[in-house]
């Protein structure tokens, strides 16, 4: 039997850009491979195409622009005010280009996921595709991980590998990695939700 919409675990997705990972997550909820509902999409960038993707899918959106706040603490307080009414099972960072403070992360410990375009722990930070090519690597990939206070360093939930071809440009490699991101992110989210459900059943048994 299909779970009624209102009983589905809720996801709040934070974005800054194109939102192709957001789209993969929306598509997975629509196809039923991800049993969850995207309750809200929040962007720190008003021009993010991800906002349009959310609207097209009938998902409420909110812009919380870090430039409008005097401090990171004030920005994060505004983010929390948008997130908390949804009481999300998970907060999903999908191309969200702001670093979250230890205080923010602690509030949602074990409930924030990020996807990073490298085989972590290798190549944390930015420009990972070019750096992997320059580093003479044979392989590159993507990692879904839990967010902790340290950047790109939380426990790994899922990884996907792709080969680096001899004449690859960073953009060709990024395209190949993104395809894998779109596959593993919804899978990783579904896994995490299953784990949460098993833990809560265990508690109530
Ligand atoms: C992806 O490469 C993701 O790994 C990184 O930012 C990019 C976001 O792409 N964190 P999109 O906005 O989901 O298309």
User: Nearest C-alpha to atom 9 of ligand 1 is from which residue?
Assistant: 95
- Which of 41, 94, 128 has most ligand 1 atoms within 8 Å of its beta carbon, as the pocket-test mutant? 94
Atom of ligand 1 lying closest to residue 16 CA: 12
d(CA 40, CA 26): 11
Listed residue (154, 164, 163) closest to 120, CA to CA? 154
Low-confidence ranges of the chain (pLDDT < 70): 1-2
Q: Hey, whose CA ends up nearest to atom 8 of ligand 1? A: 95
Residue partners of 122: CB distance under 8 A and separation at least 6: 132, 137
Kindly report the pTM of this predicted structure. Answer: 0.96
88-113: pLDDT as tens digits: 999 999 999 999 999 999 999 999 99
pLDDT number for residue 1: 60
Write out the two tokens for 73: 């603490």
Question: Is the omega angle on the peptide bond into residue 24 within 30 degrees of 0, that is, cis?
Answer: no
Neighbours of 72 (CB within 10 A): 15
Structure letter (DSSP) for residue 3: P
Residue tagged active-site, from 66, 86, 116, 129: 116
Q: Residue 189 Cα, ligand 1 centroid: separation in angstroms?
A: 16
116 included as an active-site residue? yes
Predicted local distance difference test score (pLDDT) of residue 203: 82
Nearest CA to ligand 1 atom 12: 19
Q: Which atom of ligand 1 is nearest to the CA of 93?
A: 10
E strands present in 65-108 = 90-93
| Dist. CA 202–CA 50, nearest whole Å | 37
Identify the residue whose C-alpha is closest to ligand 1 atom 1. 95
Residue 68 is classified by DSSP as G
């Amino acid at each position: 039997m299909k779970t009624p919409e209102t009983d589905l675990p809720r996801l709040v997705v934070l974005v800054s850009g194109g939102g192709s990972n957001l789209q993969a997550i929306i598509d997975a909820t629509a196809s039923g491979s991800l049993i969850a509902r995207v309750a809200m999409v929040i962007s720190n960038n008003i021009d993010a195409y991800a906002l349009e993707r959310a609207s097209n899918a009938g998902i409420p959106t909110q812009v919380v622009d870090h430039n409008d706040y005097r401090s990171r603490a004030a920005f994060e307080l505004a983010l929390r005010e948008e997130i908390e009414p949804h009481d999300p099972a998970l907060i999903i960072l999908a191309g969200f280009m702001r670093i979250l403070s230890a205080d923010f992360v602690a509030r949602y410990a074990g409930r924030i996921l990020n996807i990073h375009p490298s085989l972590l722990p290798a190549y944390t930070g930015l420009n990972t595709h070019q750096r992997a090519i320059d580093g003479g690597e044979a392989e590159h990939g993507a990692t879904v991980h839990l967010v902790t206070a340290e950047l790109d360093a939380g426990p790994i939930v899922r990884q996907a590998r792709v080969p680096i071809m001899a004449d690859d440009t960073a953009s060709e490699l990024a395209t190949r990695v993104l395809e894998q991101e779109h596959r593993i992110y919804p899978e990783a989210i579904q896994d995490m939700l299953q784990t949460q459900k098993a833990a809560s059943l265990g508690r109530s048994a």
